[in-house]
Structure 1
Amino acid sequence: MKKYVLFLLFSFCTVAQNSNELGSLLKREQQKNNWTNYNTIIQEIKDLMLKNSIYEVKKDTIITCSNYLNSEYYQALKGICTEMEALRSNLINGLDYNKDKKIIAHIQDVFNADNQFLNQLYLKRNKYLKVSIDRIQSPDAVDALPKEVCERYSENGELLYPTHQNCKDKGLTNLEEKNCFENFIRTQFSNVLSEYISDLYLEETLNLSVMITFIIDKEGKLDFVNFSRSTGSLHYDLMVYKAFQSIQRNTFFCPARKDNKSVSIYYNLPVKMLIPGS
């Protein structure tokens, strides 16, 4: 634990030193303000991560939180990282590519160093994270299907998996309907992620895989649990999280059924992203 704390302190000092050096190169007042705001937001992200990475050392090192608190963590990360990206754009756009090449290169070096450090903090938390189910939050804005659309009957303790109107009433077996539903939700993720990916510019093709764990509650609504397998990148995990939220807000599912009662059920959904390079 001592080594970990010393590493954090050393990293903070290194980044701060680079930031001070770069701040002295910026001439215009707006540039200096943008740089100050950027460093403030980076510090806020670090504080947020450290606040949510408290260790309890018993037999093993474990970070524990509920699904509700983990959702709050990702929601906060999403908002503050969006603000960080906007400040980065302002910094670069406020410089002249021809006259300020040295400064732009220096800024990019600082951005890369910050990305590396934030990613280390993020992945450290994921490595030791254990999420418990505290309560299930239902999204506010869902166009719910009428109850009769989702009326299904199970016999002899049979579990009917969640489904969607696209897969229901097609004469499918329970297994076929389960496969249809899983293909449907993968397609939903693929469609939303494609919109985000289309805005990315990469020099090399990137092949990423991730596993997202969530619950479909007894009302047919989605609730985020955690990333049981990360992409290895805060940036791309947040992209998947935003896609999840989009589906959560705009899609209603028929809940799982057991003994003719609606029940909540876990899902582990593997997602693969192939992002072509230029």
Structure 2
Amino acid sequence: MNILDDLKLQYKLGGIAMRVIYWNIACFLISLAFFYQYSGGGFAYPNWLALSSDPNVFMFKPWTFLTYAFFHATFLHLLFNMMVLNFASNLFMTFFTQKQYLGLYILSAVFSGVVFSLSFYFLNVAGSIVGASAAIMAILVAVTTYQPLMNVRLLLIGNVKLWHITAVILVLDLMQFRLDNTGGHISHLAGAFFGFIFIKLLQNGTDLSIVISKTLDFFTNLFRKSPTTPFTKVHKNYKKPTEKVTSRIVTKDKTQQQIDEILDKISQSGYDCLTKEEKEFLFKAGK
């Protein structure tokens, strides 16, 4: 297998968290081709991609409340965000489902974008933002809210509590609030707030991600051709199933859990560290 096959395999089996990372990287590569100013050494994102604080812009381009969360200003901006996103995603996917992950990413990006635009409007400041930081903060704070005392091993530091890591990041955001990138820090804090609210509502039985899941299912079914099969009347004894109370917090099946563990191993130590059995398991799971 070559590198391209490995990337395809990771994209296919890595789940929604890995795909979101791939989407961010793909958007950055597209940016290099179309929006990078080689003379000035920076990106010039059009107002139909970046989120503007000008009501005359965002009111007529509402999709920018989401598109901004997939583009980045610099390579280092992308690199740092994807490292934190991978870290937060691995923790989040330990406890929650892929639909909840995607729902949180999208909803937190939109919520943070609205907070940014309204804040700049009332402060009478003009500006625009790009970056996945707000959605990443939502994911990190969400899993921290759910499991604040989880032990996380950091290189050169050792084991620390998850809430310690999240607290440091939030404090750094607050300290830099008035120094630079005020709009970015506003969206970060808004994302953190949304992640907290998302988990609290989930624990009380309200899963906000259902809004995104049902919307995506609607459009998927809209463009999916239903197979035409002849009508067959089938008689069978029917027994009403007993209702089973289930929690909104859904656990994953064993196969997906094993796939996630193998992909985590790949992200930490590379594909070559896998055993022969693990490689065979990935190929069988991808068929």
TM superposition score normalised by structure 2:
0.22
Where is the helix percentage greater, Structure 1 or Structure 2? 2
Where is the strand percentage greater, Structure 1 or Structure 2? 1
Greater Cα radius of gyration, structure 1 or 2: 1
TM superposition score normalised by structure 1:
0.23
